[in-house]
Structures are given as structure tokens and as C-alpha cells.
Amino acid sequence: MLMPGSNKLWPELSLEEMVGQLLMIGFEGKKPPPEVARFLVEGKAGGVILLARNFGDAREAAELVLSLQKLATTRPSGLPLLIAIDQEGGPVVRLRQGITLFPGNMAVSATGNPEYAFQAAAAVASELRALGINMNLAPVVDVNNNPCNPVIGVRSFGEDPKMVAELGIQAIKGYQSRGIAAVAKHFPGHGDTTVDSHQGMPRIGHPLSRLEEVELVPFRAAINAGVAGIMTTHCSFPAVDSAPNRPATLSPAVLTGLLREKLGFDGVLLTDCLEMRGVAEVYGPEQAAVLAVQAGADLALLTHSFDKQLTAHRLLVEAVRSGLLPYARLEAAVQRVVRLKQRLFAEGVPTGGQKKGVGESPDQVDQAENQSLAQQIAAAALTLVKNEEGLLPLKLAPEEEIYLLSFHHQGLTLAEEGAGSDSRLSQALKKRHHRTRERVLSLSPTAETIERVLGELRASRPGLVLIATEDAGLAQGQVTLVKEIAATGLPLVVVALRTPYELALFPEVKTFVAAYSFQPVTLEALAGLLWGEFLPTGKLPVSIPGLYPAGYGRSRF
């Protein structure tokens, strides 16, 4: 194996170092604690996953990446690290400052323009690569055909497997065209669940024929497109593996039989975090690392506890020495990881010198251009589903008030790592109509809160009530609030900042816009749409049960 940028062979790896290549770890704080630093110096981890807890902005991220690579390459046999991040766009982004934030997959799909999937991924990849990050745990290629899915939703391109496959291919090509390893997730599919695998183990009971027709379609496409990595899901699939309570992540039948042998994938296979409850509560993260590698995984993710990382490394070494983990399986996994590193580090390893930041890479990343692209996508995605009373575009007199209701939270799922909406929509509205008042409520307001809001509305009689919902179908208080306000007869516009499914729960609402995102570019575009600054062009990527099919959307007010 050639050292990138030289004609020297990498020195032989010890067993401990070989096992280390199979672990991707995370840590708390903006620099690795001493024990983690030592772990990296000793070659006991092949990769690091970065989360929002690890930096405040892009500059800090770049500095951290350089320091991590210095640690990993200290030893003569030290291989550089895979540095991964979940920068999906939409609700799941780890880096939020000093980088362009794009709407997520469902918004991209709503534009009807597959080129946007490529362009957005390429833009994100250019900015990540400028920071030294070399792997993005994206795109999500789950087919979201269950309106009650609590964890995928707008992270998916939609409900049509062929459309998800097409956009997934474009995203993969976009990331990898800029030197970032793309990782399609979550194999064999997390779209048709009602359980979040962070909290438990979903069971997807469809027969193999249905999996072939729906869930597996985007993964086949990703493999054919040359995706660098695939991430597993902690869901069980009894049609593929009859063992009770065995998630795909730990299943030889799923990882080796289905993915490797049947679908022909020979890239790097990563687990989702093994400290998630979907695995941890049944098997324990440390033992799960051994089981996952036995099953066919090449990289086991343990993103939180150093003690668990240390134990997982020890158990993997012991498993090889005892024969429980065949040496050939270890060697095959290491070869895949190293092969990917050779590709990513063909021009050398960034371990010192200039501390690169966004806009300072050799590619001269143009954030202004990327921001313009994000704005285009956000505007093109907005979908006018209902406008039965002709409220849009808004025609308020200067003295009339907009009463904006929004919902405060710190992320709806653990996948979002504390991300939530802010007051950007209120600010964007005020630029266009000074008399805008915002009331921020809890994610699922109580009956008492709803009654107080109704009292305020009866007293003030605003010219417009605007409710910016966030997956109201998963928060009954939001549904109740919308229905109660609709019953007052006040002019009402409901905007879904996440999935549009919730309209089925309050079909009496006569004006409804699907936005698919709460990123700042979306909120700014939304305010423009409400005031008629451009026509709506977005189309629904998913069906609204009992009301509208996928592909529906009004093209004029």
C-alpha cells in the first residue's frame, strides 16, 4: 500500500493498529481529551466523527481537524484519519457557523430539479474539504413512505423509490466530485418506521419482494454510482434475517448476504452509532462492535463514551486472537478502509502549515456563490398546497397586524443534536410588514397555553394569523392549536417547516404552504413568497394522506 504523495509503503500494522482502523470515534469538547489523544497516537482509531459539540464555527473545525491528523500520523505506521460529519442539510447539520446551510433533501426534491441535488452536494463538499473533513455521512436515501416516521421525514427525498434513487445518485456524484467520501444511509432502509432507532429498535416486516421494489432501489443505484460508503440501520428485517431482535447492523444475512453478495457493494460499510438504544440496550455497544464486524461492517461507530471505545477495541483484538473474528474478515475490512484513505489522501495528509478555513482552500471556495444557490433551492422548493380564500399573496394594510405563532425546541430527535428554529421568520416578515408580532410556544402547547393564545386573538383581531408548524403530526398540541384557531374564522395561513403530512390532521385549513425546512434561507424565501415576490413552483415529494398526491402543487396564487 503506497503512502499518499510518496513511493513508500506504509509500514506493517500491528494487530492493535489493524483493529484500530475499524473504529470511528467521537468525543466531547473542542479538543480531544488526553486519553482520546493517546488513543489516536497509538493508532487505535481509524476515524473521528465530528458533532456540533466539537466546534463553534468553521475556523475551529479546521483547526481541530489539523490537530487530529497530527495525532494520528505521529507514529511511523500512523495512517491518516477519516474525518466524518453529518452535514445533510435541513434539520441535520453539525456545522452551522462559517459554512453555507442548505435546505434538506425533501426541499431539494420539491424543486423538481435533479441538478440541484448535485450542485448542493458539490457546494457542501467544497466547503467541508476546505476544512480538512473528508467524509460526509450523507445522503439519506431512505424512502419516506410512512407519514408517522419520527426520525427521517424531511431528511428523505420523498416517497418514490426511483426519485429517491435519482436524486441520491446526483448527491453522491456531487460530494465525490469535490473529494468527499459520500455515505448513503440507512441500509436497508429506515423510511417505513414509526420508531426512532435512537430510542428503540424498529421492525420492518415487509417481504423481500417489497424491499426489492422500494427500500433497496436507492441503495442499488448508489452502489452503481460508486458510492464510497454505506451506513447501516438499527432496524430489524425478518424477511432477510429471521433471528429475533437482531438489527441489520449486526446481521450477517443483511450486511454480507444481501449487501455484499447480492447487491455487490465493495466499499466501506459503516455502522450507525452503536451507542444508540436500537442496539445498545440489547447487545451493549462494545459487544455490538464485534458482532457488527463479524457481520460484515468495516467501521464501527462509537461516538460518545471513551470507556466503551476502549473496551470495544480490546474485545475486537481478543476476538481476532481467539478466532471468533476470522483474520481474513479483519484484513478485508482494513483493506477497504485503507483503500478509501489512499483515494482521499492522494495529494498528501494535511497535518500542519496554514490553518485552512472556508474560502482559503486551493479550490477557492466561493461561499457567496453557494449562498446564492441555497437561496435558489429554498425558493424553488416552496409549495403552495392550498389557497382557497385567496389570502396569498398577502395584501395587508399597514395598520393590520400579523400574529406569528412558532414553536421553540432543541431538535425533534437526537439526530438533530439540538438544532431548532429561531426568530428568522419574524425578522424576514418585519422587513416587509413592520406590524408583525411573534409568539413562541413549546413544541406541543398545553390546553392552558392554547386558551391564552385564543384570548389574545379575540382581543386583538389581527389581520392575519400565521402558524409555522414543525411536524405537528408528532405534537398533538400543535394540531389542537391549529384547529382551534381555524374555528375562529380569523384569516389563517399555516406553513409546514418540516413534513407536509400534517395537513391531513387539519384539512379545514384553507391556506397551506409546505416549506420543508427551517434553515434561514428557507425562512427568508418564505417571507418573500407570502408577499408575492415570486410565484410558487414547488411540488409535493410525498402524498398527504387522503388529500393530495405526490407531485401536487399550485403554480400560481
Residue the block writes with cell 426568530: 423
Query: How many Å from the N-terminal Cα to the C-terminal Cα in the chain?
Result: 61
Give the distance from CA 88 to its chain's centroid. Answer: 4
Quote the cell numbers at residue 25: 470515534
Q: Strand ranges (DSSP E) for 398-557?
A: 402-408, 436-442, 464-469, 492-496, 511-514
**Closest by Cα among 154, 153, 124, 111 to 379:** 111
Contact 157, 541 (CB under 8 A): yes
Spatial distance between the Cα atoms of 408 and 405, rounded to a whole number of angstroms: 10
Q: Which of 198, 206, 363, 366 is catalytic?
A: 198
Q: Strand ranges (DSSP E) for 433-537?
A: 436-442, 464-469, 492-496, 511-514
Residue 272 annotated as catalytic:
yes
3-state secondary structure of 61: helix
Strands, sheet with 135-136, edge to edge from the N-terminal-most edge strand:
268-270, 229-232, 181-187, 135-136, 82-85, 47-50, 23-25, 300-302
Q: Which of 86, 160, 192, 272 is catalytic?
A: 272
| Helix spans in 42-190 (H) | 58-72, 105-110, 114-130, 161-177
Please provide the size of the chain in residues.
Answer: 557
Contact 358, 99 (CB under 8 A): yes
Spatial distance between the Cα atoms of 224 and 202, rounded to a whole number of angstroms: 28
**Closest by Cα among 8, 23, 10 to 330:** 23
Burial of 458 (0-12, 13-18, 19+ CB in 10 A): exposed
- How many CB atoms are located within 10 Å of the residue 112 CB? 16
Spatial distance between the Cα atoms of 329 and 331, rounded to a whole number of angstroms: 5
Residue 139: asked if its preceding bond is cis (omega within 30°), the reply is yes
Spatial distance between the Cα atoms of 108 and 58, rounded to a whole number of angstroms: 24
Strands, sheet with 383-387, edge to edge from the N-terminal-most edge strand:
383-387, 511-514, 492-496, 464-469, 402-408, 436-442
Quote the cell numbers at residue 138: 450523507
- Active centre residues (catalytic): 198, 272
